[in-house]
Amino acid sequence: MLVEILLRLPPEPIHLFCASFVSKHWRSLVHDARFLRRFREFHGGTPPVLGFFNNQLEHPLFVPTSGGFALSTATMSHDDWWALDCRHGRALLERLGSGKLLVWDLLTGDERHLPAPPACDGMYNGTVLCAAGHTVHGDCRSCPFLVVYVFSRSSSAICACVLSSDTGVWSEVTSIDVQSLVVDPTPSALVGNTLYWLLEYNNIFEYDLDNHRLGLTAKLPGDTLCSYRGQVVIMPTEDGRLGLAGVEGPNLHLWSLLTGIDGLVTWTHQRVIDLENFIAPEVVASCIYGVEAVGFAEDAGVIFIYVHPSVYMIHLKSMQIEEVSEKGTFGNVLPYKSFYAPGTAIVCTNLPTSPSCLSGRQLFRN
């Protein structure tokens, strides 16, 4: 009976974290691998969104979005680190000045320092992802990971190399010739076993993880960047295609890249969402900076919309909306999702005093 009750706790890690302090018996239950697997399955296998990384100096490197949850990022600041990517329970950070990379498990605090990737003379980007090939990435902590590093070379080529956590060594560099196109330092999208990044001038390029091959994808539709004030988010669609989101006026536009029976690949409007149905019209109308799509939480189907000075999370399936408490100026954000894991380090906030959370500022590690 107790197990059935614990299974029905909300999916945010803070709830199992607090339950683990009730007694040794409760602790043994919530740390049991079989229970944790059932817990993930009970909640649909998709981890909850807990916050996001951002590279705006006026904000913490990591901004929590889940009530009662924060992470100890005292050793991680904008002075030393730049966030490149966040996926499958891990974050990819670059050490400023050295070019070295760090893969960080936020919940457990585990860190894996990587050697600097090959030198490049242009713009670059990076992605971290689970290497196990799951269809549902609910728990990837025990699985190896990959880091894919992409960069421009002399504005005439796009290059990529891959590091596996199993070897800790960068692969040989693969490249494709392009003219006057450079890598855009915006979030990537993972669709199936293919990664996508933006290039300049409405272009997209891809990296096939199975065949280790780079290629160019269909350009963004028409005058997309003009219509959306230069701010778009590429993302996977619910049916497993490459998608695109942008905001024009008060409307959120969702696109999908479709292949017709004639083999032609075209961008197709899939959905238009009137944001004034969810955000007060006067808030949208008064935003002098414009309304922008700034991030997407893969698998969770949550898109992040910036309406100065607030960031809103829109759950595309339920159409529920949440406002992030941190205010200010934001650019692109990198959402972080995770279930509870033994060894979790959490800063409890906005919770009543209890055996599990003795102080709003006290760090527990169990």
pLDDT score for 359:
30
* Predicted pLDDT of residue 132: 65
Q: What is the mean pLDDT of residues 256-263?
A: 86
- CA nearest neighbour of 162 among 176, 178, 148, 142: 148
Count the neighbouring beta carbons within 10 Å of the beta carbon of residue 210.
9
Which residues make beta-bridge pairs with 126?
149
Is residue 119 predicted with pLDDT exceeding 60?
yes
**pLDDT band at 352, cuts 50/70/90?**
very low
Confidence of residue 156 (pLDDT cuts 50, 70, 90): confident
% of the chain with per-residue pLDDT over 90: 58
Mean pLDDT over 113-122 rounds to 84
Residue 22 and residue 356 in contact, taking contact as beta carbons nearer than 8 Å: yes
For residue 265, what are the β-bridge partners?
A: 259
Amino acid at the residue 328: G
In angstroms, the Cα distances linking 184 to 191, 223, 327 are 18, 18, 26
pLDDT, average across residues 328-343: 90
d(CA 191, CA 187): 13
Q: Residues 316, 49: contact at Cβ < 8 Å?
A: no
The rounded mean pLDDT for the chain is 86
Per-residue pLDDT, 350: 46
How far is the C-alpha of 203 from the C-alpha of 219, rounded, in Å? Answer: 5
Cβ atoms 244, 220 nearer than 8 A? yes
Summarised one tens digit per residue, pLDDT across range 24-78 is: 999 999 999 999 999 999 999 889 999 999 999 888 899 998 766 666 655 677 8
What digits encode the pLDDT tens for the residues 279-332? Answer: 888 887 777 678 999 999 998 999 999 998 999 999 999 999 999 989 988 999
**Alpha carbon 333 to its chain's center:** 8
What pLDDT score was predicted for residue 136?
Answer: 57
- Residue 28's SS3 state is helix
Distance CA 359, CA 346 (A): 12
DSSP 3-state assignment of 283? Answer: helix
The CATH topology of domain 45-339 is Neuraminidase (2.120.10)
Tell me if 247 sits within 8 A of 255, measured CB to CB: no
- Name every residue whose Cβ is closer than 8 Å to that of residue 218 and which is 6 or more positions away in sequence: 204, 257, 265, 266, 267
* Sign, Cα dihedral of 306, 307, 313, 319: negative
| More confidently predicted of 78 and 231 | 231
* C-beta atoms surrounding 98 within 10 Å: 9
Structure confidence at residue 227 (pLDDT): 83
Q: With bands split at pLDDT 50, 70 and 90, how would you rate the model's confidence at 360?
A: very low
